[in-house]
């Protein structure tokens, strides 16, 4: 009976507009992919469960392929469940960061190669800052209203900009540290 986090991710997307499973798998890649990912193989059965629980309603339309096209719409119960979940404290922090794990072991590696890694990662994060900034600038003024459907996009992209900027700065600091190994 318990709805997994993925279920709420789908409800959050469907709260903005009705979609098919395929469309959701695209929307989960971007923009949701910046902070939540899921594959079609996971989405498909989850939509069925949410529908069975009465949080979604589905409508079959004659589709292109061998199966009908199913459009999912959030129900009033789904909206209530989403709103209740959204204000509960999150269960756990994101706690899996491969770059930090590599950094933890970086003392065993060659400093020059380590420095190259840090610099390439810094470049990636700098680029993302630009990317996210462009997304933010494309959002309308109404997104600043906490009751507007685009508020979540504004707030999360704002987070992303700061996150990537900090990460880029840290990578640059790391590269600097790795260059003066013998000279203190």
Partner DNA sequence: TCGGGCATGTAATACGTTACATGATTCA
Partner DNA sequence: TGAATCATGTAACGTATTACATGCCCGA
Considering only residues 31 to 90 of the shown chain, the ones binding a copy of itself according to CB under 8 A are: 32-37, 79, 82-90
Site for a copy of itself in 118-137 (CB under 8 A): 120-121
The rounded distance, in Å, linking the Cα atoms of 10 and 27 is 10
The CB-of-46 to a copy of itself minimum distance in angstroms stands at 14
Instruction: Identify which of residues 67 and 180 has a Cβ nearer to DNA in the complex.
Output: 67
Nearer to a copy of itself by Cβ, of 123 and 134: the residue is: 123
Binder of residue 90, out of a copy of itself, DNA, none (CB less than 5 to 8 A by kind) = a copy of itself
Q: Which of residues 142-181 bind DNA (CB under 7 A)?
A: none
CB of 75 to DNA, least distance (A): 18
Phi-psi label, residue 181: left if phi above 0, alpha if psi -120 to 50, beta otherwise: alpha
Residue 74 near residue 35 (C-beta atoms within 8 A): no
Nearest in space to 181 (alpha carbons), one of 102, 103, 107 = 107
Residues binding a copy of itself: number (CB under 8 A): 73
Partner in contact with 32, chosen from DNA, a copy of itself, none, beta carbon below 5 to 8 Å by kind: a copy of itself
Within 11-40, the residues that bind DNA by CB under 7 A are 20-23, 26, 37-40
Comparing CB distances to DNA, the nearer of 42 and 103 is: 42
Q: Which of 53, 99, 135, 139 binds a copy of itself (CB under 8 A)?
A: 99
Q: How many Å apart are CA 8 and CA 19, to the nearest integer? A: 15
Query: Segment 57-96, which members bind DNA (CB under 7 A)?
Result: 63-70, 96
Pull the structure tokens for residue 159.
Answer: 């987070």
Which CA distances in Å does 116 have to 90, 121, 129, 173, 179?
36, 9, 20, 13, 10
Tokens 């004659």 belong to which residue?
62
Contact 71, 61 (CB under 8 A): yes
96 CB neighbour count, 10 Å cutoff: 7
178 forms part of the interface with a copy of itself (CB under 8 A): yes
């Amino acid at each position: 009976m318990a709805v997994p986090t993925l279920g709420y991710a789908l409800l959050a997307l469907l709260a903005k507009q009705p979609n098919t499973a395929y469309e959701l798998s695209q929307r989960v890649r971007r923009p949701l992919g910046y902070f939540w990912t899921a594959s079609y193989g996971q989405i498909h059965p989850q939509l069925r469960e949410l529908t069975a629980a009465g949080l979604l309603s589905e409508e079959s339309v004659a589709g292109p392929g061998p199966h009908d096209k199913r459009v999912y719409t959030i129900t009033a119960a789904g909206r209530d469940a989403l709103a209740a979940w959204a204000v509960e404290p999150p269960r756990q922090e994101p706690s899996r960061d491969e770059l930090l794990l590599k950094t933890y072991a970086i003392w065993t590696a060659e400093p020059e190669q380590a420095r190259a890694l840090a610099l390439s990662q810094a470049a990636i994060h700098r680029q993302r800052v630009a990317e996210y900034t462009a997304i933010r600038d494309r959002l309308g003024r109404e997104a600043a209203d906490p009751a507007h459907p685009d508020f979540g996009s504004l707030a999360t992209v704002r987070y992303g900009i700061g996150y990537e900027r900090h990460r880029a700065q840290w990578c640059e600091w790391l590269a600097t540290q790795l260059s003066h190994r013998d000279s203190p």
